[in-house]
Structure 1
Amino acid sequence: MKGVGEVKPVRSSLNIRRRNIWTGWSFILLSVVMIFIFYFYPMLQALIMSFQTGTGSNLEFTGLSNYQRLFDDNMFITAVTNTFIYLLVQVPVMILLALFISVLLNDSKLKFKGFFRTAIFLPCVTSLVAYSVVFKYLFAGDGLVNTLLLKLQLIDAPIGWITDPFWAKITIIIAITWRWTGYNMIFYLSALQNIDVSIYEAARIDGASAPRQFFGITVPLLKPIILFTSITSTIGTLQLFDEVMNITKGGPGNATLTISQYIYNLSFKYSADFGYAATVSYSIVIMIVLLSFLQFKVAGDKNG
C-alpha cells in the first residue's frame, strides 16, 4: 500500500508540470502564429518563388534558371559591386569611429556627457526618408556643403556630390555613417561601463600608455561587442535601400545602385519579375550567412 501512496504525488506533479507548460504556451501561442504568418511563411513563399519565372502573377517553375541568370546579369553584378564598396569602406570607418567616440564619452572627467551621448545617438532615431532628403539638399550642387567649401576656399568649383559617380558613393557613405555611428556607440559605451576600473588602474601603475591600454585591454574585452556590431552593420549595409533611393535614386548611371534597390526595380519599376526579384533577395541571404560565418572565424569565436 505504501507504493500506491507514492504514485499519487508523482502523478500530481506531472499534471502540474503539464498545466504550466500549456499555460506558458497559451501566452505565446498568438505571437508564434503571427510570427509564422508574417515572417516565416513569406520567407518560404519567396524561396519557392525564386525557382519560378514569369511576369506578374503568371509564374511557372523553371528550376535553377534564375540563379544561373545572376552570373550573367550585369546590373546585378554592378549592384553587388556598389554594395560591397559601401560595406568595405563604410563599416570599418563606422566601427572605428563609434569605438573612438565611446572611449571619449566614457571618460569620467568629461563634462556634459549626457548631452554628447544624446546628440550622437539622435541621428539613428530620425526618419530614414527625412534625413535622406535633408542630405540630398545639403550635398546638392548649390547646397550648403558646397557653399561652405567655396567660402572657405577649399575648392574652386562646386563638387558633384550627387551627379559624379565617385562623389555620389562618398555622399552615401557619409550619410549612413552619420546615421548609424551613434547606434554602435551605445553598445560600446554600455560594454565599457561594465569593465572594472581597477584593470586600467593596474595598467597605469605598470606604466602602460593610453594607446597600449586601448589595444591591450579595451579592444580584447570589447571583442564580442565588436563582432556583434560588425555582423549587424554588415547585414544593414547589404540591405541598404532608403539612402540610395532618396538621395541619388541609384545614379548617376547606376553608380550607387544597391542590391535592395535592384530588387525594388525588378518588382515595381521594370516589368514585374517577382521570381527573379526573389532570387536576388535570397542572394543577400546567402551573402549574409557567408560573411557572418567568415567574421565568426576571423574573430576566433568557437560558436561560429
Structure 2
Amino acid sequence: MATAMHNSRLPPFTAALLHPRYLFNWLGLGLLWLLVTLLPWRAQMALGRGLGRLSMKALKSRVKVARRNLELALPELDESARERTLKANFESVGCAIFETGMAWFWPHWRMKAITRMEGTEHVDAAVARGQGMLLLSAHFLTLELNARQFGLYRPGVGVYRPNTNPVLEYAQVQGRCRSNKYLVDRLNIKGMLKALRQGDALWYAPDHDYGSHASVFVPFFAVEEAATITGTATLARVKKTVTLPCFTLREKDGYRLLIQAPIADFPVGDDMADAIASNQVIEAAIRLAPEQYMWLHRRFKTTPKGVPYRY
C-alpha cells in the first residue's frame, strides 16, 4: 500500500516553506492536527457543526449562493425546508474542516475504524479484468475523506487543483497521498489518460461549473440547462476502463464509502447523452444527503445564450 513515507512523487520539504510569511499557515495546520488527533470523532463533529452555524454570519455571500442553489435545484422544497437544509449544509461545512484534518493526518487504523465500505466487489471485478477505474465522484463536503478511504482499499490517483500557497500545497499533496499513489493536475489530461491505461483508479469529480468551454447544457436537478463538462466521457472511453460512481456519506457513527456498480452503456459517444447520464448518477447520490453537498459554489452560473444570469 502506498503511503506518504514511501511515495517518491511527493513534493520535497524545502527551507523556503519556513519563511516567516507562512507562519500562520503552519500554525493553522498545527492546530488542526492537534484537534483531530486529540479530540474524539463525535466531539469534532459537534464542534464542526457549531463552527458551521457561526460561519453563516461571517460568510453571508456564500449563504446567499447556497440558498439560491437550493432554490434552483430543489424547487419542490418549501421555504422552511430549504432553510433547514441550508442550516444543515453550513453545519456540514464546519464538519468538513475537521474531516480534512482526519483525511490528511489520521493513521490508517483510525480511519478504518470509522469507515464502512460498500460495493468493493465492483473494484475487485475491475482488478480481476485488468481494467482502469474512473471513479466518478462529486464535490461533497466529505470529498477529502472519499479519496483517502478508497485508497485504504486500493491506492489510486487523484485529480486536483494545485494550491498557489506552497505550504498548503505541500500539506494537501502529503495528506491526499497518505493512502494513494499520486495526484494529477486537473488540466493534465494526458496524465489522467496514462493512469487509466495503466489500470489505476482515477478519482474524478466533474460536477462544478467550469464555464462553457468543453461543456454542454443538460439537466442537473431542476435546472434544465446546466453547464456540464464532457471530460467524463472522454476519460471513460479509454480502452479497458470502467466507470464506478464513488461517494462518501457522513452517518451517525462514521462514514459510508459507497462504490456503485459500473454505469451501464457508458459512454455512448454522444456528448449530451453521456453528460446527462453522469449528471443523473451524481444527482441521485446528492439526494441521499443533500445537506452534505458543496452548495456554496455557483454551480449554475454559466448560462446558454439568451438565458439570464441565475445569481
Q: Is the strand fraction higher in 1 or 2?
A: 2
Structure index of larger Rg: 1
**TM-score for both structures, normalised by structure 2:** 0.26
Structure in which a larger fraction of residues adopt helix: 1
